[in-house]
Amino acid sequence: MSRKNQLTAPIKKLSQLTALPRFLNPATLIQRQQALKTKSRPAPAPRIDALDIPVRDTSIEQSERSALEARGQFLARQDRWEDLGREIRDYDQARAVTAGGMSKADLIANGARLDVVAPIRTALSDPGLMRQHAPRHGLRDFEQVLEDHPDDYGVALVVINAYIDAAWAWRGEGWSRDIAPDHWREFSLKMTRAGEILDRYSPFECDSPALAATRCALLAAQQSAGQRIADDYEDLIELDPANSRHMRAFGNHLLPRWFGSYQQLEIGARRAAAMTQDIWGMGGYAWTYLDALTVDPNAITLLDADFFVEAMQDILRRRPDQHTANTFAAFCAVTLRQDRFQTPDRSSAAKTLSDAFDWILRDHLREVHPLIWAMAKQGPEQNCDAPETIARDGETRALRRIAGHFDAEIRRGGRIVFDERGPRVIAPR
């Protein structure tokens, strides 16, 4: 046995000690082996029981979304299309949004088409199901509704987006080359029909961000999308600069997997910051990159990390609500610390951004929204059909990250209490 093997082999019998080198006595060897065992043990998990921070199982955002979708579904089921169209238009023209920035007009319209779209999604969710199992009568019924209300763009938004939802149900989420020809044909037909209806209405004449957003959603079926994306999204942002969701969608669609490139993403982010400076400061830069980074870590290669941090600060000064604070806290503490951001060409920028978790936690975070933390791991494109299930994971993830940040204080016996002034360390008595 080599000297190296002798030093690391386990001691089974006292007689084996005679084979050891004379300069290393048995007691020293045992101490070293115990040290190696201790070193190989994983670090203990942070003590989340030392945290005192409110956890909102159902946030204001979730409650608003559910109520608005239920309202749209109710009005459609009651055939109250005039009321439905008016409410959609009123919310749209008022730029009304939920606490998390979701368009209230979009949420009501989503609820109104749910009874038509959900059966199509269900029938096509299993690749083994036959295509004829997907219902079509609902879309035909919507065509009649549209004929009865030809001048109501609120009603038209329900029908247009029902076609878009149905189109994506047929297409699925895979690469284009993997889509069955008959499914691709259905996708194209339904997107074409959605575009035909949309062409009847002008977003600027109707003063409608919802129509402009729907125009952007149709880019997925257009061969000229790469030439149109900047113009279409800038029209949308100009109509509704206070809504961060438009910039987030813009950044995602500027990725190479969609219609752009990393260079276009960087240019688009700076352009969005300039367009919305009076509302967000430099925040448009961070909003445009946010979802793009979450789904494609290569997007960080051209990002200006210091500019992004400044943009986050501008956003949180102007929008200090807890939904926004949780969004950026989870992004810094979960998304950017994943292994995919730890490559040599990404780790430096990722660390600069993730270090912002310290001041976000100290200056802005006052409660935990579990679903946001869960989605920070999964990504914005992931299915969220079981929010209660993933929210449990999100809560655990959030509390561990926060406890880990205060690990030294907790190990000294301190308790971390959050209130409206931020986190305070309560020393042990």
DSSP letters for 188-205: HHHHHHHHHHHTTS-TTT
Tokens 């100009």, located at residue? 238
Nearest of 372, 215, 216 to residue 294 by alpha carbon:
372
Band of the pLDDT at 18, cuts 50, 70, 90? very low
Q: Give the pair of three-digit tokens for residue 190.
A: 């339904």
Round to whole Å and give the CA distance between 284 and 261. Answer: 18
246 inside domain: no
Segment (H or E) for 215? helix 209-217
Q: Give the pair of three-digit tokens for residue 341.
A: 């951001």
Residue type, 222: Q
Band of the pLDDT at 67, cuts 50, 70, 90? very high
Per-residue pLDDT of 80-117, as tens digits, reads: 999 999 999 999 999 999 988 899 999 999 999 999 99
Band of the pLDDT at 23, cuts 50, 70, 90? very low
412 inside domain: no
- Average pLDDT of 136-151? 90
Round to whole Å and give the CA distance between 324 and 59. Answer: 12
28 inside domain: yes
Round to whole Å and give the CA distance between 325 and 312. Answer: 10
Q: How many domains does the chain have?
A: 1
Segment (H or E) for 422? strand 422-426
In 3-state terms, what secondary structure has residue 370? helix
Round to whole Å and give the CA distance between 87 and 105. Answer: 7
Q: Tell me the pairing of strands 415-419 and 51-52.
A: parallel
Band of the pLDDT at 377, cuts 50, 70, 90? confident
Answer for the pair 146, 197: CB distance below 8 angstroms, yes or no.
yes
- Confidence at residue 237, expressed as pLDDT on a 0 to 100 scale: 98
- Confidence at residue 209, expressed as pLDDT on a 0 to 100 scale: 97
Answer left, alpha or beta for residue 100, where phi above 0 means left and psi between -120 and 50 means alpha: alpha
Band of the pLDDT at 47, cuts 50, 70, 90? confident
Query: For the whole model, what pTM was predicted?
Result: 0.84
Nearest of 258, 265, 177 to residue 219 by alpha carbon:
258
- Average pLDDT of 213-221? 95
Band of the pLDDT at 48, cuts 50, 70, 90? confident
- Long-range (24+ apart) CB contacts under 8 A made by 375-378 are 375/330, 376/294, 376/330, 376/331, 376/333, 376/334, 376/335, 377/334, 377/335, 377/338
Top pLDDT among 7 and 179 is at 179
307 inside domain: no
Query: Distances from the Cα of 119 to the Cαs of 107, 139, 167, 188, 376, in angstroms?
Result: 19, 11, 13, 20, 29
DSSP letters for 26-56: HHHHHHHHHHHHHHHSPPPPP-GGGEE--B-
Beta bridge partners of 424: 417
Segment (H or E) for 358? helix 357-363
Answer for the pair 247, 279: CB distance below 8 angstroms, yes or no.
no
Q: Which domain holds residue 27?
A: 3-38
24 inside domain: yes
- Confidence at residue 337, expressed as pLDDT on a 0 to 100 scale: 96
Top pLDDT among 403 and 4 is at 403
> Which are the contacts of 89, defined by CB distance < 8 A and separation ≥ 6?
105, 152, 153, 154, 206, 208
- Average pLDDT of 142-166? 97
Answer left, alpha or beta for residue 201, where phi above 0 means left and psi between -120 and 50 means alpha: beta
9 inside domain: yes
383 inside domain: no
> Which are the contacts of 157, defined by CB distance < 8 A and separation ≥ 6?
88, 92, 105, 109, 210, 211, 214
260 inside domain: no
Round to whole Å and give the CA distance between 251 and 176. Answer: 21
- Residue 10 pLDDT > 50, yes or no? no
In 3-state terms, what secondary structure has residue 415? strand
- Residue 341 pLDDT > 70, yes or no? yes
